[in-house]
């Protein structure tokens, strides 16, 4: 039973009410979306990935990605980069922000524009640099350090065990493993056996990530890997209720009224967040609305209409008429 695996855990000195997390997704896990997911009680939610290099230049846009609301704590922010000194300077800044509880360093993003600079999964091609970054991060951070990685860069060169041993040696509090290589991107099935192998080898907290889409796949991740917790990302798109389903141990299907109210609440969250640029709120919400409507009869036509609409009030009317 999935409920047998749900428990309170801690990341360093940060206590979490459960071990089912919302993962970081660039362009998606902003404050408006996290406010929606928060209602369904994930134990921890991660911000979008933010560039440490941009933080070095005091980019207001990047700083905003790392904003955390007091009522969503405990919180985790995710940063990326490949220069240990730049990452260290970013952590020194984050140390001073009270609402931030955990700092995660991305070593797994497969996006070409990230990898080509040696960031994200690109770091897995240089384990010496990985070690230097982790060593310096732990030296300066006042907050628990979390690392998110993949099982390797190339299919024939698995590095996650080496990364895990480095994390353990320097006292990293949490290791999140996506069970695919960068070469696989999001194809093939996530390798749960490698996550289990890492969990058996190190004593630090291991979080399993990859292919968790429902109660059964969540239970499978826990059962096969013996992981301390799970991270859900893409499966939460248009379906924040997945957290309630997993935590309650039974499928929760929202009524059409609840789905409609959730979409409108999400739109209003976005408008509040982007109050100086409502057009940006509409652009961001188009993809979310498409995810909410996925699989609903007539949803594709409504999505197409919304994608052509430039008035947010008209979008609300279209949704009202549809539901």
Phi then psi dihedrals of residue 264, to 5 deg: -65, -40
Are 143 and 102 in contact by the 8 Å Cβ rule? The answer is yes
Query: Is 109 among the residues known to form the active site?
Result: yes
Dihedral sign for Cα atoms in the order 9, 11, 13, 16 = negative
Alpha carbon 8 to its chain's center:
19
Tokens 């919304």 -> residue: 306
Catalytic site residue from 37, 109, 167, 227: 109
**Residue 163 contacts residue 201 (beta carbons within 8 Å):** no
Which conformational region is residue 120 in: left (phi greater than 0), alpha (psi within -120 to 50 degrees), or beta?
A: left
Residues identified as active-site: 109
């Amino acid at each position: 039973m999935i409920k047998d695996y749900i428990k309170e855990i801690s990341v360093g000195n940060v206590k979490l009410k459960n071990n089912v997390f919302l993962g970081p997704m660039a362009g998606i896990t902003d404050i408006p979306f996290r406010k929606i997911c928060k209602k369904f009680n994930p134990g921890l939610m991660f911000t979008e990935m933010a560039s440490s290099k941009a933080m070095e230049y005091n980019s207001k846009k990047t700083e905003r990605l790392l904003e955390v609301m007091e009522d969503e704590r405990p919180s985790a922010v995710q940063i990326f980069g490949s220069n240990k000194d730049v990452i260290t300077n970013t952590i020194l800044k984050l140390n001073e922000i009270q609402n931030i509880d955990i700092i995660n360093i991305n070593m797994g993003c497969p996006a070409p524009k990230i990898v080509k600079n040696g960031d994200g999964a690109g770091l897995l091609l240089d384990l010496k640099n990985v070690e230097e970054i982790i060593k310096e991060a732990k030296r300066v951070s006042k907050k628990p350090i979390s690392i998110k990685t993949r099982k390797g860069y190339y299919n024939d060169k698995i590095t996650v065990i080496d990364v895990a041993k480095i994390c353990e040696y320097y006292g990293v509090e949490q290791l999140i493993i996506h069970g695919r290589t960068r070469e696989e991107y999001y194809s093939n099935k996530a390798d749960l056996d490698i996550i289990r192998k890492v969990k058996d080898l190190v004593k630090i907290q291991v979080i399993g990530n990859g292919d968790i889409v429902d109660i059964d796949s969540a239970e499978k991740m826990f059962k096969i890997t013996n992981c301390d917790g799970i991270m859900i990302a893409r499966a939460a798109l248009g379906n924040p209720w997945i957290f309630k389903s997993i935590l309650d141990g039974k499928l929760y299907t929202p009524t059409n009224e609840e789905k409609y109210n959730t979409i409108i609440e999400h739109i209003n969250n976005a408008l509040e967040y982007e109050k100086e640029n409502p057009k940006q709120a509409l652009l961001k919400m188009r993809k979310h609305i498409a995810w909410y409507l996925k699989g609903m009869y007539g949803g594709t036509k409504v999505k197409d209409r919304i994608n052509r609409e430039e008035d947010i009030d008209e979008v609300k009317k279209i949704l009202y008429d549809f539901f």
